[in-house]
């Protein structure tokens, strides 16, 4: 059996890709798996990212899935374990960040870990324990209106406290901007005070490199994907461009978007403004008559015959609130994910071999519907969003370039530029 340096567990698919992307950029050869793998892996990988879809399921299920992933990683002798969640700390009062951290710590026999979603390249910084998204606090970033995990408190110590059995503390920016030794001293002090989980401030990549160094001896590291940039060096791995090369792209192009995040709303708007052909699914109509999905798919395939197509449910907070009031928030979320996944499957069956998916939960549903099991990670389009290459199993097995975009990621012209980058 192959042994790996870093064994990662990600709570959603786009998050897993984002993490894998950072590891590839730091020189690691990375395989991302969909769920806990049963097929054997490439013998020559440095890191495996097991992607789950555990962000918004019941906490006990999230714990069970994470422990199953950990078991597999332990069998592959992972030297360090990384639990990846969203850089906007998406969670509810019940979890699932806290309960999963608690379970992994117990299973790894450790009394201390870190928790920081900081990812400066994507505008996520943590200062005095407060999470900023770009220039604004988390709770002013649009995340306060998230369909499943509205984030209304930007103070991460406060957010994490009710979720974990461990005491939560802070290693602040003064240590992060000083040295790995200063951060380690912060760890030692918190540990002495009985703290089990340290939120760590980080304002730039240099802070993350120092943090990575300080985490070298921790059995478990938790965070967004940012902290990962400082870890490969602990395994004597240097940045290496070869790690990002994918096969040449071919086939038709399509976008499926179920994200209602602000960035995605702008991307959908820009795509339409630039003359792109977009088809909006109406969730209320579809819930009344699910057979209407076939008509939407037929319409999409018609467009696809001549140009790329965007199929979306992306909408404004006001319209989202209306749909959720009519159908229930969770039920609407599940239904929309399944409809979009079916659309994606039909598109791939019709010859789409370059597919962009917007939305973390949406991506999870699409990847499952496409029967993708492993993905090789290529070069990034925008921070946190790389193209990936894998095989879809849609009655037949077809090679596919797929990009899984977390809702708030990507520039405004992402839906056109993504394909230009791939063709270049």
- Tell me the sheet residues that pair with 195: 167
Residue 89 Cβ, how far from ligand ADP at the closest point, in Å?
A: 13
Residue 361 Cβ, how far from ligand ADP at the closest point, in Å?
A: 3
- Closest CB to ligand ADP among residues 87, 264: 264
Q: What are phi and psi of 92, to 5 degrees?
A: -110, 180
Taking the C-alpha atoms of residue 285 and residue 281, their distance in angstroms, rounded to an integer, is 8
- Closest CB to ligand ADP among residues 299, 319: 319
409 near 262, Cβ under 8 Å?
A: no
Name the nearest CA neighbour of 196 among 153, 227, 160: 160
- Tell me the sheet residues that pair with 169: 198
- Closest CB to ligand ADP among residues 91, 406: 406
Residue 259 Cβ, how far from ligand ADP at the closest point, in Å?
A: 3
- The residue count of the chain comes to 424
410 near 357, Cβ under 8 Å?
A: no
- Closest CB to ligand ADP among residues 190, 310: 310
Residue 273 Cβ, how far from ligand ADP at the closest point, in Å?
A: 20
- Closest CB to ligand ADP among residues 105, 286: 286
Residue 374 Cβ, how far from ligand ADP at the closest point, in Å?
A: 22
Residues within the interface to ligand ADP (CB under 6 A): 147-148, 258-261, 264, 283, 313, 315, 320, 323-324, 332-333, 336-337, 359-362, 406-407
Taking the C-alpha atoms of residue 23 and residue 235, their distance in angstroms, rounded to an integer, is 12
Q: Residue with CB nearest ligand ADP?
A: 407
- Closest CB to ligand ADP among residues 304, 332: 332
- Closest CB to ligand ADP among residues 113, 264: 264
């Amino acid at each position: 059996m192959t042994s790996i340096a870093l064994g990662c567990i990600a709570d959603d698919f786009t998050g897993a890709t984002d993490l894998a992307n950072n590891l590839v950029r730091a020189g690691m050869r990375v395989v991302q798996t969909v769920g806990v793998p049963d097929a054997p892996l490439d013998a020559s990988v440095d890191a495996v990212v097991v992607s789950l879809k555990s962000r918004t399921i019941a906490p006990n299920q999230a714990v069970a899935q994470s422990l199953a992933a950990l078991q597999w990683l332990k069998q592959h002798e992972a030297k360090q374990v990384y639990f990846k969640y969203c850089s906007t700390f998406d969670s509810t009062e019940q979890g699932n960040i806290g309960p999963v951290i608690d379970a992994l710590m117990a299973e790894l026999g450790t009394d201390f870990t870190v928790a920081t979603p900081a990812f400066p390249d994507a505008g996520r910084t943590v200062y005095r324990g407060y999470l900023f998204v770009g220039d604004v606090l988390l709770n002013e970033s649009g995340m306060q209106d998230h369909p499943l995990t509205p984030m209304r408190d930007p103070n991460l110590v406060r957010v994490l406290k009710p979720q974990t059995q461990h005491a939560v503390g802070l290693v602040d920016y003064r240590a992060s901007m000083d040295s790995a030794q200063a951060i380690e001293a912060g760890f030692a002090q918190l540990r002495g005070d009985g703290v089990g989980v340290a939120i760590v401030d980080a304002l730039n990549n240099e802070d993350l490199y120092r943090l990575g160094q300080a985490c070298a001896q921790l059995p478990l590291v938790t965070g967004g994907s940012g902290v990962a940039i400082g870890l490969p060096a602990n395994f004597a791995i240097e940045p290496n461009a070869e790690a990002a090369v994918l096969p040449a792209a071919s086939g038709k192009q399509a976008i499926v978007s179920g994200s209602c995040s602000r960035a995605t709303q702008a991307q959908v708007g820009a795509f339409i403004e630039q003359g792109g052909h977009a088809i909006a699914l109406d969730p209320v109509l579809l819930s009344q008559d699910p057979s209407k999905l076939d008509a939407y798919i037929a319409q999409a395939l018609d467009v696809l015959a001549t140009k790329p197509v965007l199929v979306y449910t992306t909408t404004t907070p006001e319209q989202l609130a209306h749909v959720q009031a009519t159908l229930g928030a969770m039920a609407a979320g599940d239904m929309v994910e399944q409809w979009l996944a079916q659309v994606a499957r039909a598109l791939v069956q019709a010859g789409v071999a370059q597919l962009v998916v917007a939305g973390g939960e949406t991506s999870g549903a699409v990847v499952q519907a496409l029967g993708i099991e492993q993905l090789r990670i290529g070069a990034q389009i925008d921070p946190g969003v790389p193209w990936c290459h894998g095989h879809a199993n849609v009655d037949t097995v077809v090679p596919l370039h797929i990009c899984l975009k977390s809702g708030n990621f990507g520039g405004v012209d992402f839906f056109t530029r993504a394909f230009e980058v791939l063709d270049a």
